[in-house]
Structure formats: structure tokens, C-alpha cells
């Protein structure tokens, strides 16, 4: 059997490694238009800010390693089209410009995503940059160390935007962070957490321009950007970083079933609606247990898991499935250690769920221990059933309690209610927590047993 993999980043690498480990005799051919694979983009901001010293340390695999496992790896090759009826691909060698066809028995589609392009006037100016690839990281690092670049505009206040704002701020740049939404990271956190994060960003010197649309970049007369025009005013800058979001690259499969943003709907086996074509990584819409419908949640964690599942299914390990996800994520910026899973209260209500919430803030350890820190939690749950649909944790201090989000994510995946979660067998030790830890205390508050 011959398997072709289209795209070799996190998802594709995971699929190839799994297939070749399970079945070294399997014929696997993989194509990618880039010159490198497995780059951890989540480390770009850390490298820009000087926390990570070596950009190349963000790679965990290479084409030679996958070849050594038995796969045929073709870098700098662009898949131009896919014919599912013929099980045929048209491929272009980007070095020689040769165009050829290849055939498959099974295909794993892992073409990833790309930054969303928006119609902003003069977006082609020099020093208007995006952030996705290793090559982009090289450019951003160079400009972060350029003394002539003093003022930087970051467009988009999601995770990447805030992380880059902090990174360039660490390099001594004057930062304006612009977003059309009224709050930072609104997709993951409600106001109980974003209010403090915004205050800490302002205290650090970040100029937050929220609820404003960018309409134009201003030319300095020599083809470089010198300003940003928004619906809330204009700002002088030497550089712009667009971090508006990502769109899945699924144009090569126009007839497959998709959700609104173009992500491919897959089942628990990663099968698309097209026979013998699997999809993984940022290209897919997985079943969201909180929302009870398919959504596109582009995270490296999901990419790796989907790669393992698709590969295992092809190799006959049918018990390896991914039933659902809930979008568990975390961020550490401006002293805020934050994690969330499922839906925020705002998102749940926007999606039509009848939810309520409880927010609880407490010391993480008993006060008799004398040394303790603040932790906050918000639980979002259905009003009638008490089914948990979302959770957010903020940990403020030297310790981090954000990993408690893991068992709340599992609770959402399994459809558990608040009362069921409250009976989870957890431990108490004064060195680490309280008899009623902050999760249990939040649940007790939600059901009217507030003992604090």
C-alpha cells in the first residue's frame, strides 16, 4: 500500500513517524513546499525576546530523520492539484519547475494553515510582516535587534499578538497593540481574566488600542511603513506585525465537506468525506465536546494527535481514535499564567448555549502556611444540566496551578456535570492546596454551598 502525505509540519511529521514505526515496510511519500519541517512556531516570540537563544533549537525533526525511517521525503515540492477519482496528485518541483503526477492508495492531507490576509491599504509596504514560519522568525529577530526600528504596531490581540508585543517590548521597542475586538484574547478568556491582563500590559507601557479597525498603512516615501491609520486614530510606527488569525489551507479538496472557515470535517478516525483521504492538523474541524459540533481548533497538540490517529487507522490500529477535543490552551505573558478549556461564557452564549458561570478567587494554600499566592478560576456550565462547558484558570505568583485545566478538559470531553466533578478523588496537602481546593470551592459556590 502506498500512502502520500501532503504537508510535513507537526501533523505530517507525527503521521509519518507513527506509520513508519508501526509498519517500516509501508510505502510513504511526503511532499512539502517549504525547506524545513517541525518548526515550533510557539517559540518565535520567546526567541525574539531573547529567552530562547538559538532559533534552530525549535526544530525537533528533519527530513533526513524521516527518510532514515524509510519514508520518501520531497521538500520544495508543491502539490498543485488532487484528483480523488484517479487517486492522483499533480506536483511541481519548485527548484526545477518540473511538473509530474503521483498516485496513492491512501492520502493524508496535512497542508496546515496560513495567516489571514485582510484588505488594508498599502499592506505591501516594507516592514509589514507576518508570523508563521522559520523564515518569518528570522526576519522578526533581525528587526527586533535593529536600532532603527523603535516603534512597532502589532495587529491582533490573540495569543501570538500578545506574545510578540511582550517580546518586542523586552527589546526596548515602543508597542501599540491594535484589535477590532474590545478585549484581548476574547476567544479564550472572559473579562475576569482579561481585565487584569490588560492592566498589566498598560502598566508595562503597552498602548492598547481596542475596538478599532486598521484601514491603512502609511508610506514613508521610500516604500517603508511609517504609520498605521485606524478608526480610532493614527499611530507612528517603524514596523507592523499582522497577527490577525489563520485560515486552513483546504483549497486542494474543493468537494470535501467543510465548516464555514473551510476546515475539513473529519470523523474520529480522521477520515474526510472523500474515500481514502484523511485530514489532520490545522486543516481539520474536529468534534468539539463543549459545543457538540465540529470546529476548527488549530493547536500543535491537536496536530500531533490527529497525525497519530490517521497513521494508526491506515496501519489497522482501529482502536486509536480521537473522539473529541475542547481546545485546551495556555499562555504566560506580562506575569499572567493563564489556561482555558472549552468555551468562555461569552463564546458559549454567542453560540446559543444557555449557560451561567461562577468565578472564584482564593489563596492557593492554607493561610496558616504563611506563604501563599492568588489563584482564580471561572467555570462555565449549562444552567439546567450543570454540564461543564468551559473553564479558565489564572495563577498569579511563583507557582503555577494552570495544569489543573487538564482534568477540567477531560471532564468536558466526558460530558461531566459540576456535581460529578466535585466528587473527583483529589488529594489535600497544605504544602500544595486547601482542603477545599479552588476548583472544588468554585463548584460549591456554583451550587449554593459557598463556605468561604
Cβ-contact 227, 121 below 8 angstroms: no
Tell me the angle at which helices 10-22 and 300-314 cross, rounded to the nearest 10 degrees: 30
Question: Strand 239-242's sheet: what is its strand order?
Answer: 128-130, 239-242, 151-155, 174-179, 207-210
> What does the block give as the cell for 428?
489535600
* 294 given a catalytic annotation: no
Backbone torsions φ then ψ of 378, nearest 5 degrees = -130, 130
Rounded Cα–Cα distance for residues 250 and 2 (Å): 22
Place of cell 466526558: 414
Classify 350 as helix, strand or coil: helix
Active-site residue, from 10, 77, 294, 401 = 10
Question: Which residue in 42, 136, 180, 351 is the catalytic one?
Answer: 42
Active site residue 243: no
Residues paired with residue 225 on neighbouring β-strands, in sequence order: 219
DSSP letters for 272-311 = -SSTTEEE-GGGEEEEETTTTEEE----HHHHHHHHHHHH
Helix-helix angle 159-170:191-204, to 10 degrees: 20
CB-based contacts of 329: which residues, under 8 Å, 6+ apart? 159, 188, 299, 339, 340, 341
Phi, psi of 144 (to 5 degrees): -65, -30
All cell numbers assigned to 285: 474541524
Check: CB of residue 309 under 8 Å from CB of residue 278.
no
Residue 75's beta-bridge partner residues? 32
* Pairing state between β 277-279 and 106-109: parallel
CA dist., res. 341 & res. 180, Å (int): 24
Closest to 337 measured CA to CA, from 404, 379, 394 = 394
Element (H, E) at 143: helix 134-144
What is the rounded CA–CA span in Å between residue 211 and residue 262?
26
Give catalytic residue positions. 10, 42
Amino acid at each position: 500500500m502506498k500512502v502520500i502525505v501532503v504537508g510535513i509540519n507537526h501533523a505530517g511529521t507525527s503521521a509519518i513517524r507513527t506509520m513508519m514505526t508501526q509498519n517500516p515496510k509501508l510505502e510513504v511519500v511526503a511532499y512539502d513546499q517549504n525547506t524545513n519541517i517541525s518548526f515550533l512556531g510557539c517559540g518565535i516570540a520567546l526567541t525574539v525576546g531573547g529567552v530562547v537563544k538559538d532559533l534552530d533549537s525549535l526544530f525537533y525533526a528533519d527530513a533526513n530523520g524521516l527518510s532514515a525511517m524509510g519514508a520518501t521525503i520531497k521538500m520544495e515540492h508543491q502539490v498543485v492539484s488532487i484528483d480523488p477519482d484517479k487517486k492522483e496528485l499533480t506536483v511541481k518541483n519548485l527548484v526545477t519547475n518540473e511538473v509530474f503526477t503521483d498516485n496513492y492508495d491512501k492520502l493524508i492531507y496535512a497542508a496546515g494553515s496560513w495567516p489571514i490576509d485582510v484588505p488594508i491599504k498599502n499592506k505591501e509596504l516594507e516592514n509589514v510582516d507576518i508570523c508563521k514560519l522559520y523564515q518569518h522568525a528570522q526576519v522578526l529577530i533581525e528587526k527586533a535587534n535593529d536600532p532603527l526600528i523603535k516603534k512597532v504596531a502589532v495587529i491582533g490581540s490573540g495569543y501570538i499578538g500578545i506574545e510578540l508585543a511582550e517580546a518586542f517590548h523586552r527589546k526596548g521597542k515602543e508597542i501599540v497593540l491594535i484589535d477590532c475586538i474590545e478585549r484581548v484574547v476574547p476567544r479564550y478568556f472572559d473579562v475576569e481574566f482579561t481585565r487584569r491582563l490588560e492592566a498589566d500590559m498598560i502598566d508595562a507601557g503597552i498602548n492598547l488600542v481596542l475596538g478599532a479597525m486598521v484601514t491603512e498603512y502609511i508610506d514613508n516615501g521610500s516604500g517603508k511603513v511609517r504609520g498605521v491609520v485606524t478608526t480610532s486614530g493614527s499611530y507612528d510606527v517603524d514596523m507592523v506585525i499582522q497577527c490577525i488569525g489563520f485560515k486552513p489551507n483546504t483549497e486542494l479538496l474543493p468537494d470535501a465537506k467543510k465548516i464555514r472557515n473551510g476546515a475539513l470535517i473529519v470523523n474520529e478516525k480522521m477520515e474526510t468525506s472523500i474515500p481514502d483521504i484523511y485530514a489532520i492538523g490545522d486543516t481539520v474541524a474536529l468534534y468539539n465536546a463543549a459545543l457538540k459540533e465540529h470546529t476548527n481548533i488549530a493547536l500543535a497538540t491537536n496536530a500531533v494527535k490527529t497525525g497519530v490517529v490517521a497513521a494508526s487507522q491506515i496501519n489497522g490500529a482501529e482502536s486509536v481514535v480521537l473522539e473529541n477535543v475542547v481546545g485546551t490552551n495556555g499562555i504566560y505573558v506580562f506575569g499572567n499564567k493563564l489556561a482555558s478549556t472549552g468555551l468562555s461564557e461569552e463564546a458559549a452564549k454567542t453560540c446559543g448555549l444557555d449557560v451561567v458561570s461562577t468565578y472564584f478567587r482564593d489563596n492557593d494554600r492554607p493561610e496558616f502556611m504563611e506563604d501563599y499566592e492568588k489563584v482564580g478560576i471561572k467555570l462555565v456550565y449549562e444552567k439546567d444540566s450543570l454540564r461543564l462547558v468551559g473553564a479558565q484558570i489564572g495563577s498569579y505568583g511563583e507557582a503555577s496551578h494552570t495544569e489543573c485545566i487538564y482534568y477540567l478538559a477531560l471532564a468536558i470531553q466526558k460530558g461531566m456535570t459540576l456535581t460529578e466533578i466535585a466528587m473527583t478523588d483529589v488529594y489535600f496537602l497544605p504544602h500544595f492546596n486547601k482542603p477545599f481546593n479552588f476548583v472544588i470551592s468554585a463548584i460549591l459556590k456554583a451550587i449554593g454551598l459557598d463556605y468561604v
